[in-house]
Chain A
Amino acid sequence: MADSVKVAFVGTGDVFLKYYFPEAIEQDVIDITAICDIEVDRAQKVADFVGGAEAYGDYDTMLKESDAELVVIVTPPMSHYPLTLAGLEAGKNVYVEKPFCRHLEQADRLVETARENGLHLMAAPTILLDPPNKMMREMIAEGAVGKVAFATSPAFQLGGAISGYFDRFSRQLEYSGISVLTRPEEKTDASWYYQKGGGPVYDLAVYSITLMTGLLGPAQRVVALSGTVDPTRTLMQGTDEERQIEVTEDDNTSILLDLGESRFVYINAAWHGAASRAQGMEIIGSGGTLTQSGGGDLVTRTRESTVHLYRTDDKQWHDYDVNDPLWWIPSGVTHLAQCIVEGRQPDISVEHARHVVEVMEKTYVAARTGQAQELTTTF
């Protein structure tokens, strides 16, 4: 049995360079065998940096010629579905960045294709495997907050073109010792954040929805309000390619999920909000409140997290420090590669990712029709 997995990466944009690439270089279980980008020069530069990896400008060619066992898709959202489907049909295990895909119909087809071909399929975000979230899940299961009543989980940031983004990006690469590609290049254009198929629901609230349903169980119904607050955005701020674009996907969406038994979750997804004094995520039940503070530093890849439990019986906050290493964005690939090597099932399921896709798709349907939408999937 091999002790590493041959991995091909598709897409060499910011997310690849900042997160997946440094992780893949460090992890022995990942054997980088191919790099694919429609801008083949980019792929070539990365392949040269790795040494011994093949570069491809055409995805189908890579699927045919490369001996990769696992394809990792780190491309813009709209391409996830066709790339994933082609990968599965070519007999590859597939890991795909968030969002898994856009529509439930697509998710069904991907899940079905993976099953028929006996392949692993995993979708980001894998945050349920993050130690503080695992701790919260265990505490909830043990009844630490009694019967859950409601939860809030904000998902907001200024957007994908915020000032200082490029500086931070450069710092992250420098920290990781990766100098192979630098921005700005046309293919790392952030306009998709604001255009049809982008937007904060699929890009950002996907975390909150994954976490909340992962901790509390599947949703049964959704209602929502959604719209665009700011119709134009300035991109590539601080570079010589600065320009204005029109916002064509809602930049402000407020969501209520019904988990059944009068348990409700509020999630707001917005490309607005740089700062808040309110507590982020909170889960409130008949016996207490559960939340967490701190978090990971994605530059230094260190963490300081504390889970906080308020118990109504003793009226005290109880703090639990989480000392396990940071579970960061690409850790799911490492986990999947280990599962492939060990021949076991991953700790998170693609059925959960499918449920989250349905929640996101029906959020927009609910907002546009003004009618609560039933959710049909579970996990």
Chain B
Amino acid sequence: MTDRVKVGFVGTGDVFLKYYLPEVMRQDVFEITAICDSAGNRAKQVADFLGGIQSYTDYQDMLDESGVELVVIVTPPMSHFALALAGLQAGKHVYVEKPFCRHLKEANLLVDTACSQGVHLMAAPSIMLDPSVDVIRGLLAEGLIGKVAYANVSSNGVGDAEPGYYERFLRMTAEAGIDVLRRQDEKTDPAWYFQKGGGPLYDVGVYSITRITGLLGPARRVVAMSGVVDPHRVVLRGTEHVKQIDVTEDDLTMILLDLGDSRFVHINTGWIGGVGRGGPPDIVGMEGTIAESANMVHLYRNDTEEWTDYPVTGDPWSIPSGLIHLAECIVSGERPKITIEHARHVVEIMEKTYIAARTDEAQEITTTF
């Protein structure tokens, strides 16, 4: 049994450079074997930087020639399904950045393909690996807040148009010792955040939906409202490529999930900024409330009328945590702690959220995990 996994990366954009590359370089479990990017010589620049690694501009060539065991897909959302499917069909384990894919039909095909090929398939976000999850699950399992009534969570960002984004990117990559690629490259154009197939629901709402269903269980039904607040956005601020684009995907979506037994969750996701005064929102049950703050879970009990703090220990989750966990599972032969069926359930919720919003009708959720 080998103790390292031969890994090939597809996509060398911001997320790869800021999050995956620095972490993967630090972890012994990875043997970076191939880098693929369809844009010019980006993959070659990364490969040269790392030394002794093959670079590809054609994904199929990488699958056919490189000998990688695990393909990591870190490309823009619209390409995830096709790349994940091809990877699985080539017999590779696949880890795919969020969103897993766009449609339940696609998720079903990917899950079935992984199953028939006998390979691992994991989708980001892997936030259920955060140690706070274990603390909250423990409190819920002990029945300390009784039957859950409602929860209110939100995932708001400003998309890519946030002032200072580019400067922060340069700082992060410089700090990680990775100054191999600069950002002005056309292929890292963030317009997709605001255009059909992008949007906050699939890009950041996916975190809230994954986490709250992971904690409280699968949803049965969804109703939603969705629309465009700001029809024009400026992207690539602070660069010479600054431009205004039309927003063609909803930039604000409000969701109510029915978890059954009169348990409801509200999720709000938008490119609105959304600076709030409160901490992360609460889970409210018949007998108490669970809240969170940095490295701490707070429990309020109705009977004692007091808050109790539970420190969260252990390594906090970060974006590449799931990939490291998957590689470790491939080496050890253990099953990953997070399932692809959960990711599929989240895809169905996201797809049906838009249907519910457009048709004005509650949509049943058919999958579970």
Contact = CB atoms under 8 A, between A and B. Distances in A.
Contacts of A372: 223, 360-361
B285 A272 contact: yes
Interface string B255-287: 010100111101010101111111111101110
Nearest to B266: A266
B289 A276 contact: yes
Interface of B: 147, 149-150, 152, 221, 223-230, 250, 252, 254, 256, 258, 261-264, 266, 268, 270, 272-282, 284-286, 288-289, 291, 293, 298, 300, 302, 305, 307, 356, 360-362
A280 B224 CA distance: 22
A54 interface: no
Contacts of A276: 282, 284, 289, 291
A254 interface: yes
Contacts of A224: 223, 256
A302 interface: no
Nearest to A231: B262
A93 to B, nearest CB: 39
Nearest to B356: A223
B264 A273 contact: no
A372 B222 CA distance: 12
Interface in A245-288: 250-252, 254, 256, 258, 261-264, 266, 268, 270, 272-280, 282, 284-286, 288
A258 B230 CA distance: 16
Interface residues of A, number: 54
Contacts of A277: 278-279, 282, 289, 291, 293, 298
Interface stretch (A56-64, A129-137, A151-159): A151-159
A273 B278 contact: no
6 contacts: A147-B230, A225-B256, A252-B150, A254-B150, A256-B266, A276-B289
A270 B150 contact: yes
Given A278-B278, A286-B272, A230 B147 contact: yes
A273 B272 contact: no
A150 interface: yes
A158 B229 CA distance: 35
Interface of A: 147, 149-150, 152, 154, 156, 158, 221, 223-230, 250-252, 254, 256, 258, 261-264, 266, 268, 270, 272-280, 282, 284-286, 288-289, 291, 293, 308, 310, 312, 317, 366, 370-372
A272 B149 contact: yes
A288 B149 CA distance: 30
A233 to B, nearest CB: 11
Given A288-B275, A371-B362, 6 more contacts: A229-B286, A261-B227, A268-B266, A275-B307, A286-B273, A372-B361
B253 to A, nearest CB: 9
A229 B274 contact: no
A152 B273 CA distance: 15
Given A254-B256, A372-B360, A152 B152 contact: yes
A254 B273 CA distance: 23
A256 B254 contact: yes
6 smallest beta-carbon distances between A and B, as pairs? A227-B262, A262-B227, A279-B278, A370-B362, A372-B360, A277-B291
A263 to B, nearest CB: 8
Nearest to A288: B275
Contacts of A288: 275
B164 to A, nearest CB: 10
Nearest to B158: A312
A270 B150 CA distance: 9
Please indicate which of the listed interface residues B223, B263, B279, B289 has the most CB atoms of chain A within 10 Å of its own CB. B223
B270 A150 contact: yes
B223 A262 contact: no
Contacts of A308: 277
A266 B361 contact: no
Given A254-B150, A275-B307, A278-B281, A371 B254 contact: no
Contacts of B305: 274-275
Contact of A272 (B229, B230, B272, B286): B286
A278 B292 CA distance: 9
Contacts of B281: 278
Given A252-B264, A266-B268, A284-B272, A156 B284 contact: yes
**Residue among A256, A277, A293 with max Cβ neighbours from chain B (10 Å):** A277
A310 B284 contact: no
Contacts of A285: 272
B264 to A, nearest CB: 4
A154 B151 CA distance: 11
Contacts of B307: 275
Contacts of B230: 147, 286
A158 B303 CA distance: 11
A290 to B, nearest CB: 10
